[in-house]
Every structure is written in C-alpha cells, then in structure tokens.
Structure 1
Amino acid sequence: MTSHAAYLAQAREWQVLLHSGRATAADQAAAEAWRLAAPEHAQALREVEDLWALLGQLDPRSSAPPATSEVVPLAPRRARRSARWVVPLATAASLVLALWLPRGAWLGLYADESTAPGEIRELRLEDGSLLTLNGNTALDWVFVDGQRQVRLYRGEVDFQVAADATRPFLVAAGPARIRVTGTRFDVNHRGGDVLLAVTHGQVQASEDGGSPVPVNARQQVAWRAGQLQSVQALDAQRLAWQRGKLVFRARPLGEVFAELERSQSQRVVFLDAAARELQVTGVFALDDPQALLRAIESNLPVRLIRLPGVLLVASRD
C-alpha cells in the first residue's frame, strides 16, 4: 500500500512541473488525471497547494534579516533542555523551501530509471552492460545511431560497460562528457559537481565540446563549476558505497551529509557555515545512517534537531 508520504512526494513533483513554465497541455492533462485517479491523490494535492500558497506569502525581501530582532523560535520537545533555538526569518523561509521542493524536482516523472534514498539497484542493459545505481539516482539511457548513451541527472552509478569497439558508450552528467568502449568506472553527480573514478581500462573525459583527456585505471578526475580539473590518483574511499560502507577521511560535514541524503529521505539544512566545515573521519555502514548521526552528535560540536522530513544542523556555540 502506498503511503501518504509517497502521495505527497508525487503531488509535489506535479506541482513543481505545473509551475515551472515548461508544462505542456499533455502534462496538465496527466496531472489532472492523476488527481482524479484516487481520493488520496486529491488530498495530497490539496496539502501541497496549501503549502504553495504559504510560499507565495513569503516576502522576497526577507532574504536578509529585518532591522528588528524578529525571529522564529524552533523548540522541539527533545531540544527544550538545550539552549533556546532561534532562527532568522530568512532561514525559516529556506527551511520551508527545503521541506517542500523535491530532490531533482520533476526528474522522477521523466527519468527512465530512478532510485529512492537508501535504495541500491542493478540495471542490466540490452548490450550486457551492468549499471549499479546508488540511492537517490536518476538517469535515462538509449541505444541510437550506433552509440550507447546514458544521461545521469543526479546521483551515483557504477558502470561495468560491455566491450564493443563498434559502439562507443557515452555518459553525460552535468558538464561532464565521458566516452568508453568497454571498462568499469564510477560517476558521482552531486549538485553542480561531477567526479569520475576509473577502476579498470581507460575513459575519455571532456567538457561539453572540449578536447578529451584520458583517465586510466586507478585515476579520477572532477568537473567543478563546469570546468574539467586535472587527473589525480584514485581515492578508493569514494567507492566504498559499492561495498555497503561510507568511508570518510577528514571530509567536511557538508559533504558527509550530502552522501547521507542518498541513504535516507530526510533533508538536511545547515543553520551556519561553521558547522558545514567541521571534518569527519570514520567508517560506517551504508544501511545504518542513524549510527553516523549518533557519531556526529557525540564527537563534533554540533546540535542536530530532527523535524518531520528535515534535519537542522548548527554549531553548539
């Protein structure tokens, strides 16, 4: 049985699409058909529309704290024994947006394949290639004009590409363009950055329209701010998810939580920049995100406030 949370997630995707300026008449008809398909769908859309109306009431000028000391207090029951929590209006608006906007917006409606947070799935393509999708991943794939093509919208994939010199295998992920004929590599597409890690064979990496750079086994390369960086030695800890582990060595807390969001549906909002830069070192089970959260609370000077669907992170001081 589908849960109410799942209906809400679907309703949010429809609402974002319909207000994106990209919705076609067919999209609008499909959304209406989804609403009429079940009373639970209609109820979820009503709740999402109510929250959309609330977002419309947020004054854009509140992106900076007002001159007065007006704040919105957050006082979860389990945090009352701690120091009083106060959040500026701008942060409250960001929190509402983080709660409402789904990951990847309408990607879940159109991607050929997608995984939920915490789900790892294998996908066997018709050419024999094996793709292993990490949690919260979305992609399209097609075989056309003598090429095998994958577009990775978000997430991380381990590619084991079947050798075929006559049909190159192409991967597009944000600014990254990757070309192989048969090898194994990992592509991690998070936000605007992409990391390619090669475990076997050789991969040709480039920016869109740029000259290809060879990346060999046990090497990696990143695209940052749309630019291809220099090739480096492979950091094997980045591939620990394939063994069911999360391995961090002096990794900023912001990056750690970005990885954690692939294992759980809870969104993460940082209330200050200092907390984001704290560093984490350790080995954790991929299927036990709560153990990582407990370790963070016990060993770092941060406070975690758990709200429905969101986790607030702030420095203790």
Structure 2
Amino acid sequence: MTTDSSLLAQAREWQVLLHSGRATAADHLAAKAWRQRSPAHEQAAHEVDQLWALLGQVQQPAPAQPMHSSGRRRSLRWPVSLASAALLLVALWLPQGTWLGWYADVATAPGEVRTLELGDGTILTLNGATALDWTFSEGRRGVRLYRGEVDLQVAKDASRPFIVEAGPARIRVTGTRFDVDYDGRDVVLAVTEGQVQASDATDLPLPVGANQQVRWRGDQLQAVQPLDARQQLAWQRGKLVFRAQPLGEVFAALERSQRQRVIFLDDSVRELKVTGVFALDDPQAVLRAIESALPVRLVRLPGLLLVSRA
C-alpha cells in the first residue's frame, strides 16, 4: 500500500515535535489522536517510526588520518557529523512551524500578522508563526496559545472571566489589554492596560498591572518587573529590538518572520550577544548584521540556515 505523501509529511512533523524536547503532554495526546484517526494515519506514523529508528543508528566514523610528506599524521575535523547530517535531513523534510495549524482554530505563517475579532468583541492580533484556540461558554471565555505571540484587547464582562493558557502560564482577566509571548519554553506576559491575575502550577494568583511584565521560566512564575515596551512590544510597531540578547533567542525571534529553519552546527555560538533595532519585515538585515559583527558563519540553503563559528 502506498502511503499518501501529505500524511507522511504530517507524521514527520509530529515525530520531530515529539523528539524536540519541547513537546507538552497536550502535544503527545494530540499526536496519539492524529495517529489513531485512520489506518492510513497509523501506516504513515509507522513508516516514519522506522525511518527515525534508522537515523538513530547513524554513528560518526573515526576521522581520517592522512599521511603527509613529513611522515606525520594530522587528524581532520569533519565539518558536519553524520548525526548532524541526519538532523539536516529531518529539517529539510519540514516547513517551519507547519504542525501548529493542524489542530488550532487559527494559525499565522511566519511573517504574517493577523487581527481578528471574537464574538464577544475581544480583539486578537497574532504575530507570525502563532497558533491558538478560543473557547466560549455561558460562564467562561478563553484562549489557549500553543506557540507564538498575541496581543489581546479583552472586552469587559465581569460575569465571564477571560482565561489565557500558554504552557505553564494561566492568566485571568475580566477586561483589559495585554501581550502573551510563548516560545515553547518560557512565557512572557506584558500588561499595557488594567490588571490581570497570573498563576502557575501552584495556582496562587499574582496581580500584574499596567506597564508591568512577568515571565514564567520553565514551570515557575518569576517576580513582576517594569514593562520594557520598546523591546517586548516592538513587533506591534513593525520592529525587532535586541539588547545584548543571545544569538539563540535572536534566531527564535527571526523564525516568526521568515520561513527558514535554523540549525546550530556549533552550540557555542548560541550565547553570542546581539544588539540592534531592525525592521520586522527585513530579516535579511539582521543576518547581515550578525555576519559582520559576530564570529559566525551562515550557510543559506533553501528553507534552511546553518549557523557555525567562523
């Protein structure tokens, strides 16, 4: 039986997500539900399981030891190990962030900013590569943010609280304006109007008022800080603002504005710092600045960017 290519692509995306170290319990449940949807889904998942197992068996050979005229041997450093090559193969399978839209009510593509109005009058503005669901019932309104960033202008309704869930974060409001940024690991809440109640797994509410922000690191809610709107909300003005931010975070931000997967071939460059103000719709300007200011080498491939030390 020939497996449908679109199902194979979806199965590959699920496999990468589940092995990325960022998958939540909800992601595992959603992947299981996708697999059980039909025999064809199960077959596609099985084929990808087999290929993934083969990739896991790839071993890096010992480096060659060529003989030079002096009779001395010099070891050669492989630029990319076979394990990295396998990772690149998997990365080339998959358009950036496509899994986000499979089970979300709405999802934006990298570089797309979209505004929509919910039935109660609440206005959502989604940054690029963002996916979320919303729920309305008699006593509750709510949004679950799977990944990305959204600005919420919540319509006032004291009888129906509005709940936002993103990873470990739970945010409760009755009507105000705030921004939620979830990169799959940490959550940042930035409040521009009114007050919200923020909590984590302990479910102890922490009030966060206008011009304040708070971060969840892992599962833990951190202390409230003054809002740095110029940086945290720069995307709403069409800007990217970096202040001595690690290169890993910079590329995470760029993945929201361009359809290009980033692979670090040298983890040591992730902590190099970047400072600058750039146009949101010109990610190439950020790449040029990185190449000119930092000791890194960028290799551009179709849909893929390889980052290593120069």
Could you say whether these structures have the same fold, taking a TM-score greater than 0.5 normalized by the shorter chain as the test?
A: yes
Note the C-alpha offset of 1:22: 3.2
Q: Is the 8 A contact 2:100 2:130 kept in 1?
A: no
Distance 1:158 1:241 in 2: 10
Matches within 5 A, 1:92-111: 92-101=85-94, 106-111=99-104
> In the alignment, what sits opposite 1:210?
203
Amino acid at match of 2:88: L
> In the alignment, what sits opposite 1:59?
56
Amino acid at match of 2:249: E
> In the alignment, what sits opposite 1:75?
none
Pair 1:166-2:159 in alignment: yes
Gaps in structure 1 of 5+ consecutive residues = 1-6, 33-44, 71-83
> In the alignment, what sits opposite 1:123?
116
Pair 1:154-2:154 in alignment: no
Matches within 5 A, 1:133-282: 133-236=126-229, 237-282=231-276
**What is the CA deviation profile of residues 156-195 of structure 1, one whole-angstrom value per residue up to 9, with x for unaligned ones?**
0001111111111100000000000111110001022111
Distance 2:222 2:134 in 1: 26
Amino acid at match of 2:225: Q
Note the C-alpha offset of 1:50: 8.9
Q: Is the 8 A contact 1:13 1:102 kept in 2?
A: no
TM-score, normalised relative to structure 1: 0.79
Note the C-alpha offset of 1:99: 3.0
Give the 3 Å change call, closer, same or farther, for CA 112–282 of structure 1 in structure 2: same
Distance 2:85 2:58 in 1: 13
Q: Is the 8 A contact 1:195 1:220 kept in 2?
A: yes
**What is the CA deviation profile of residues 188-240 of structure 1, one whole-angstrom value per residue up to 9, with x for unaligned ones?**
01022111111111110001351100011111111111111111111221110
> In the alignment, what sits opposite 2:27?
none
Amino acid at match of 2:169: A
Distance 2:106 2:200 in 1: 24
Amino acid at match of 2:280: L
Distance 2:176 2:140 in 1: 15
Amino acid at match of 1:242: Q
**What is the CA deviation profile of residues 1-60 of structure 1, one whole-angstrom value per residue up to 9, with x for unaligned ones?**
xxxxxx98875225545994433654556x69xxxxxxxxxxxx9xx9998765442234
Instruction: Identify the range of structure 1 (13-22 vs 137-146) with the bigger mean alpha-carbon deviation.
Output: 13-22
> In the alignment, what sits opposite 2:280?
286
The alignment-based identity, stated in percent, is 63
Matches within 5 A, 1:35-46: none
TM-score, normalised relative to structure 2: 0.81
Aligned residues between the structures: 279
Note the C-alpha offset of 1:309: 1.5
What SS class does the counterpart of residue 314 from structure 1 fall into? strand
Instruction: Identify the range of structure 1 (95-104 vs 270-279) with the bigger mean alpha-carbon deviation.
Output: 95-104
Which of 20, 23, 36 is 2:34 aligned to? 23
Which of 2, 10, 14 is 1:13 aligned to? 10
Amino acid at match of 1:127: D
Distance 2:296 2:137 in 1: 50
Distance 2:12 2:273 in 1: 37
> In the alignment, what sits opposite 1:41?
none
